[in-house]
Amino acid sequence: MADRNKVKLVQALVGAVVLTVLMQGMTLLGMLQYIWMLFLPLLMFFALGADFKKIPDMLIGYAVGELWCVINSLVSGAFGAAFGDNPLLSQLIPTILVIFCILTVHENLFEGQVFSNIPCIFMGMATSFMMLFMQVPITYFHLFGFWCYGLVLAVCLVLSGMAVCSAIFGKERAMAALAPKAPEDK
């Protein structure tokens, strides 16, 4: 078995244990049915390159997405009051306008700034829509708390995996094995 595979095998075992243990916090809080929410920030963290420096952008982006959900609800409510039950005018047009505003504001005006993490903005908006449309008994604050806790899990996963692999294989071997493969190495 290649050295890289051995290190990754140990990392996988450590990660499985760490994530499973830390997820029990949701059970202790009586929110077992929302454990799935913890995987969304994990997914986003690793999709964005597992870069700790991106965590503030991820937190702000998610909260901004929740805010855009509120704005979308207000705009849809205003259009609904003006145009009644017409789904095109009361729901589709307002949502098109809000998404246009999100992309214009965050990709153009805030490009490269802390408010420009479009994937996290849409994740915050999407989970907020889910909360509203499915009428689950949680709030925006719960969603943001789940997002934060999921990011804590991501950090713990990376740090614990690196610590254990470094202790077993040495820091240099562990770092070399856990570094992403270059495209020509794949």
pLDDT tens digits, one per residue of 109-147: 999 898 899 999 999 999 999 999 999 899 999 999 999
Does some domain include residue 184?
no
The domain total for the chain is: 1
Please report the pLDDT score of residue 71 as a whole number. Answer: 96
Q: Does residue 73 lie within any of the structural domains?
A: yes
- Answer for the pair 116, 106: CB distance below 8 angstroms, yes or no: yes
Q: Establish if 183 belongs to a structural domain.
A: no
Under the banding of pLDDT at 50, 70 and 90, the label for residue 182 is confident
d(CA 59, CA 2): 37
Average pLDDT, the chain: 93
Query: Could you tell me if residue 185 is inside a domain?
Result: no
Q: Report if residue 81 sits inside a domain.
A: yes
What's the CA gap between 18 and 22, in Å, rounded?
A: 6
| Structural tokens at position 173 | 């071997």
The closest of 94, 64, 102 to 77, measured between CA atoms, is 94
Q: What is the dihedral of CA 90, 93, 99, 103, to 10 degrees?
A: -150
Q: For the purposes of burial, counting CB atoms within 10 Å of the CB of 43, is it exposed (0-12), middle (13-18) or buried (19 or more)?
A: middle
Q: What pTM, to 2 d.p., does this model score?
A: 0.90
Given 3-state DSSP classes, what are the helix, strand and coil percentages for the chain, each rounded to the nearest 5? 85, 0, 15
Q: Is the confidence at residue 156, as pLDDT, over 90?
A: yes
Whether residue 90 contacts residue 146, with contact meaning beta carbons closer than 8 Å, is answered with: no
Asked if 73 and 61 touch (Cβ cutoff 8 Å), the reply is no
Residue 30: is its pLDDT beyond 80? yes
Which is nearest to 158 in space by CA: 62, 5, 3, 22?
22
The residue segments making up the domain with residue 132 are: 3-178
Task: Let me know: does 107 contact 118? Beta carbons within 8 Å.
Answer: yes
Q: Domain for residue 173, yes or no?
A: yes
> What local confidence, expressed as pLDDT, does residue 186 receive?
57
Q: Looking at the domain assignment, is residue 186 inside a domain?
A: no
Residue 149 located in a structural domain: yes
